[in-house]
Amino acid sequence: MLIFRRILFYSFLTSYLITCPLTVLYALGLIYKPGTEYGFVKTGLIYLSTAPPGAAIYLNQRHYAQAAPAMIRNLIPNNYRVRIEMPGYQAWEQTIPVKAEKASALDFVLLLPKEWKSATLTEGPFVDLRGIIGSKNILLMSGKHLKEYFVYSLEKKKIFEVSQTSLADYEVDDLYSVPGSSVVIFKLVLNEKVSYAKLDLSNDHFLLTDISSVLANGFTHLKWSSQNADILYCWHDGILDKLDVSSGTVQSAFVKDVQGYGANNHHLYVLKKNGSLIKTDDKGNDPKLLSRDHATSAEIFQPGKFYDIYAYPPDVLVLVGESGDLVTNRLPYRVVDSHVRTFEFSKKSKRLLILRDSLLGVLDFSVPETLSDEAFQVGSKLSWVLKERQNMAQAFWVYEGSHILFREGNKIFILDFETYEAPKENFVVEVKNGSSVYFSEDSGLLYYLDASSGNLLSLEVFPKKQILNIPFPERTEPILREDKNE
pLDDT range class, residue 202, cuts 50, 70, 90: confident
Q: According to the model, what pLDDT value does residue 9 have?
A: 53
Those residues with Cβ within 8 angstroms of residue 338's Cβ, 6 or more apart along the chain or in another chain: 323, 324, 325
| CATH architecture under which domain 2-110 falls | Sandwich (2.60)
What 244-252 contacts at long range (C-beta under 8 Å, 24+ apart), as own/partner pairs, is 244/214, 245/198, 245/209, 245/211, 245/214, 248/213, 248/214, 249/214, 250/214, 250/217, 252/217
The pTM score is: 0.88
Distances (CA, A) of 417 to 108, 195, 351, 422: 9, 44, 12, 8
Quick: pLDDT tens for 52-109.
999 999 999 999 999 999 999 999 999 999 999 999 999 999 999 999 999 999 999 9
Those residues with Cβ within 8 angstroms of residue 351's Cβ, 6 or more apart along the chain or in another chain: 345, 362, 363, 364, 365, 366, 397, 401
DSSP state at residue 34:
T
CA atoms of 455 and 468, how far apart (whole Å): 33
CA atoms of 90 and 395, how far apart (whole Å): 23
Q: According to the model, what pLDDT value does residue 25 have?
A: 40
Quick: pLDDT tens for 136-172.
899 999 999 999 999 999 999 999 998 777 899 999 9
Q: Which residue has the higher pLDDT, 211 or 19?
A: 211
The three-point CA angle 446-449-455 to 5° equals 120
Mean confidence (pLDDT) of the chain: 88
Question: CA nearest 304: which of 268, 283, 328, 273?
Answer: 273
Cis status of the peptide bond prior to 87, with omega within 30 of 0? no
234, 219 contact by CB (below 8 A): yes
Q: Which residues pair with 235 in a beta bridge?
A: 221, 240
Distances (CA, A) of 222 to 46, 243, 302: 49, 10, 21
Those residues with Cβ within 8 angstroms of residue 257's Cβ, 6 or more apart along the chain or in another chain: 238, 272, 273, 274
Question: CA nearest 51: which of 1, 96, 86?
Answer: 86
Strands 30-32 and 40-42: antiparallel
pLDDT range class, residue 309, cuts 50, 70, 90: very high
Quick: pLDDT tens for 249-263.
999 999 999 999 999
CA atoms of 393 and 341, how far apart (whole Å): 8
